Structure formats: C-alpha cells, structure tokens
A and B are shown apart, each in its own frame.
Chain A
Amino acid sequence: MVHTFYLNGYYIALDVNSGAVHVLDKLCFDLLNKFEDKLPEEFPTEILDELSKEYSREELLEVYSELLELQKAGQLFSEDDYERFTDMMKGAPIKSMCLHISHDCNLRCKYCFASTGDFGKGRKLMPVETGKKAIDFLLTHSGNRHNLELDFFGGEPLMNWDAVKEIVDYARSKEEEYNKKFRFTVTTNGVLLNDDNIDYINKEMKNVVLSLDGRKCVNDNMRLAINGKGSYDVIVPKFQKLVEKRLEGENKEYYARGTFTKNNLDFAQDVYHIADDLGFDQLSVEPVIADPSEPYAITEEDLPTIFAEYEKLAVEMIRRKKEGRCFNFFHFMIDLDQGPCAIKRLRGCGCGNEYVSVTPDGDIYPCHQFVGNDEWKMGNLDDGTLDTEMKDKFACSNIYTKEGCKDCWCKFYCSGGCNANNYSFNKDINKPVKLSCEMERKRVECAIMIKVAMADK
C-alpha cells in the first residue's frame, strides 16, 4: 500500500508497510498515482500512452525504472506481513497504570469527560492504602518489564497530594527489591500548585502535563472555577514558575496541554499564544472529544477549517525550525527512523492489557476513559479479581480487527485509535471514529511533510 499526498509544495509518497517516505517530482507523483498495487515489470502501454500527452516518453520510462528499483528494494508496495504478530501481546504483563488519586476537582471545565472530576460515581479521594495496593499490583503483575509507569490522574491530583507523596515513597522503597524503575507522571490543572508541590513534582515526576487551553478568552470560556470564574489568571503564573524551575533540574519533560473546540477552530493562535506569549516550548493542543449534541463539539463540517489550521501551523513550524527557534508540538512529533517497532504499532496504547486504571475504590478499568462504566470494570484490588477474558479481548484488538484499519494508510501511526473513544461513539472498541481518524490522518501528513521540508536543503 502506498499513500501519496501533496502538501506545502511537496509531492510525497509513503510506503505504508515499510515506512519509507519518498519525495517525488510531479511527473513521478502523477505516474505513481496510476497504480494501486505493485508495478508490473513492463510499463503498461495504456498508462504510458495516456501520460505521454503531458510528459516525454523518455522521462516516463526513466521514472518508471526508478519506481521499479524502489519496489525491488522493498520500499514501494511492500507487503503487509505483520498479521503473524497479532497474538503476541496476549497474556502480556501489566506495566502501566493510571492512578485516579482524586475523583474530585476544583475546576468545572465544560468539556470534562470525567463528569467534572467524579466520573459519575461521587466525589472521593483515594486512600493511601489503596494506592499502595495499586503499587503492589503493578509490581506483581509486571513480569519481566523493568520500566513501570504510573500516572497520577483525576479529577485533580493536587487535591490529594499527601497521598501522592506517600505512594511515591512506598513505590520507591520497593524498586530495588523488585528490580523495577517507576516513572511517575502527573496531570494537573495548576490551581493548587505552590512552591512545595512544584519542587516535589520536578524532583519525582518524569513528565508533567499542565492543562491550559491557550488564549485567556479561550481558556476561560471552558476551564472554569467552581464559582464560574475563568482559571487562566490563577494557573498561568504557577505553570510558568513550575517550568522555569523544572528546566533547572533533572526531569525536564513537560507539556502545556490544551483542548480546542468548535469555539476556537483557529487553535493555531492558541499554540502561538502558549509558545510566544507564555514561553512554553513543549505543547499540545488537541481536539475535544464530545457528544455531537454539545454546542462546542467538533463536527464533520469543521474539518476543512481544522485541516487548513493544521497546515498553517505546520508551515509556520518549518519556518521557525529553520530559524532554530521552534516549539515542539506534540501531534507533529514523528520518528521516521527509529520509532516504535511494528509490533507495538499493531495495537497502540495497550489499554486493558498492558495498561489499566485504578479508581479511589480500588476498581480496575481498562483505562481512565472507561472508568465509571460498570460494564468495563475488570476487577478490584481488594478482592484480587482481574477479568483475564476482558484483558485478552483488549490484547487481541489490533489494526487487523478494527473496522477499516487494515486498508488505511495511517494504521501504523494511529494504531487503530482510542478504544474508549471507539466504544463511546460506536459501542464497539473495534469500530474507529471517522471524525477522529480524519483529523489524525491530517496530523500525520503534516508531521511527515515537516520531516520532508527539514530534509530539503
């Protein structure tokens, strides 16, 4: 399978199954687009005759031989022979956990997927003992995996900060005995940040996600305090202090992470605001996931505007990169050479199999997006249950079981999308959401184009 596209003056061909990215001239692009599958040894006469009206036969034959050369080298129309790896993750260890340390929040964001923090199950904080049991669960279910990830999530994790510190201490005390390395991360809205917890986060958390939507008017339209006031003025100085101190320390990773909605389809302006006006150079602004009935939900009619916005952002980033002063936009990050292996790419996040979420009650769910939906409860830390049948169901969900993925050029970049999103919209983890797919494909095209442009001297 080959995907061709034209973007920002570049004619690009992606050989899906090898991952090869080729930049073509227009003649080559036009010629390649005549073929849906492998090129025959002999140039088909009807195609040669047709293109001869626009190009010279000599050049066409020359290009055809170049394309054949790539095909023989396994870089064009290469075979998809990865299906043999689909069962490889069945019975995999559990190595990552989203720990819902707080099912309460001090903001009331309009688009919150967690029902403003309580996931529809009542506001509560996780007891320390439950957190310690979660650590024990990871230690004993992670097999030979050395790196264990634990994300403190909510609600708002800072509302239960003493518990976070006790759980981190407990986990660290077990690392040597079990030969494991915990990588902690936290996602915070910033309201309760202070000097103490900033220092602690910067010392112990490998990554920190700082929720901020961009311009004040945009942020304050959606991210509201309980009293209805916008959060921007409270959180921005705290985030800036955290990042300033963080960059002096060992753990430098962070993301200023925003959500865009139908209300700010000009979201590139929010990206520039976060980067230029606020000084954050690691950032991510992502489309809201919402019921289509919500007035802020992104709908199909918004796609042309969103695509144009992504393209503008990509072009601007190239300009800045060439000047050596660009920020990092998460969704345009792509490693075309040494990224994850194809085996990882078959199923992506590993939710419900390698990755689970644990609630304040010790209930286990496939991931944070399934929390609160009883149908997807996988087990509980107190009674020691774990639904291995459900675990296997997730282990065996991959780009070959998901509707439309096998024949989609983007399959090795999105890995079939988000299972929870698929279930939420289509009531089936194996049915991807068309709208999300469309946006993801555009982002990947932009990301590849940026690599192409940066390789173009």
Chain B
Amino acid sequence: MEHIKTVNNANLKESCAKGGCGECQASCQSACKTSCTVANQECENESRKGNK
C-alpha cells in the first residue's frame, strides 16, 4: 500500500480462540499498584504462545 502502513498483527479477534485461561498476572487498574494499563500485560497462555 502506498498511503497506509500497518505496524502490527491485528490479532485481538484471534486471541479469543484460546483466550480466557486466567493464568496472566492480575492487572490492578488503580494507580497505586503500578499496573493501570491492561494492554502491557504478558499473555501466559501456553497454547496461545505457541501461535506466536
């Protein structure tokens, strides 16, 4: 494409296929525990990681 550059693999939809395992770190949303942004968390789902 000449006018558009996509910088990532858009995989939010695919993430649901093997998602919801609950093994990832709790992502405290308050400001007091240094973890406000969910999006910075690592996925710890072994079967999802396999697709990386």
A interface residues, Cβ below 8 angstroms from B: 15, 17-25, 27-28, 62-63, 66-67, 69-70, 74-75, 78, 81-82, 85, 88-89, 92-93, 95-96, 113, 145-147, 149, 151, 183, 187, 209, 255, 257, 259, 284, 286-289, 330-331, 333-345, 348-351, 354-355, 367-369, 412-421, 436, 440, 443-444, 447, 451-452, 455
Contact = CB atoms under 8 A, between A and B. Distances in A.
29 contacts: A20-B8, A22-B4, A24-B3, A88-B20, A89-B22, A147-B25, A209-B33, A257-B34, A286-B34, A337-B8, A337-B11, A338-B49, A340-B38, A341-B43, A341-B48, A343-B16, A344-B19, A344-B24, A369-B30, A412-B38, A413-B38, A414-B29, A418-B31, A418-B36, A421-B29, A421-B30, A440-B37, A443-B36, A451-B8
B20 A85 contact: yes
B39 to A, nearest CB: 4
Nearest to A209: B34
A22 B19 contact: no
Interface of A is mostly: mixed
Contact of A75 (B6, B23, B45): B6
B21 to A, nearest CB: 8
A208 B47 CA distance: 29
Given A333-B40, A413-B37, 4 more contacts: A92-B22, A209-B33, A257-B34, A413-B38
B12 A342 contact: yes
Contacts of B43: 338-341
B8 A341 contact: no
A396 to B, nearest CB: 15
B5 A289 contact: no
Contacts, number: 221
Contacts of A151: 33
A259 to B, nearest CB: 7
B3 A28 contact: yes
Contacts of B31: 259, 286-289, 418, 421, 436
Instruction: Count chain B CB atoms within 10 A of each CB in A78, A369, A451 and give the residue with the most.
Output: A369
Contacts of B44: 147
B33 A354 contact: no
A339 B8 CA distance: 12
A89 B20 CA distance: 8
B7 A444 contact: no
B8 to A, nearest CB: 4
Contact of B6 (A21, A27, A147, A340): A21
A255 B36 CA distance: 14
Given A62-B2, A145-B23, A413-B39, A337 B9 contact: yes
B51 to A, nearest CB: 9
A82 B13 CA distance: 8
Contacts of A70: 4, 6
Contacts of A259: 31
A339 B41 CA distance: 6
Nearest to A32: B4
A369 to B, nearest CB: 5
B10 A15 contact: yes
Given A334-B37, A335-B39, A19 B10 contact: yes
A74 B10 contact: yes
Nearest to B15: A341
A455 B5 CA distance: 10
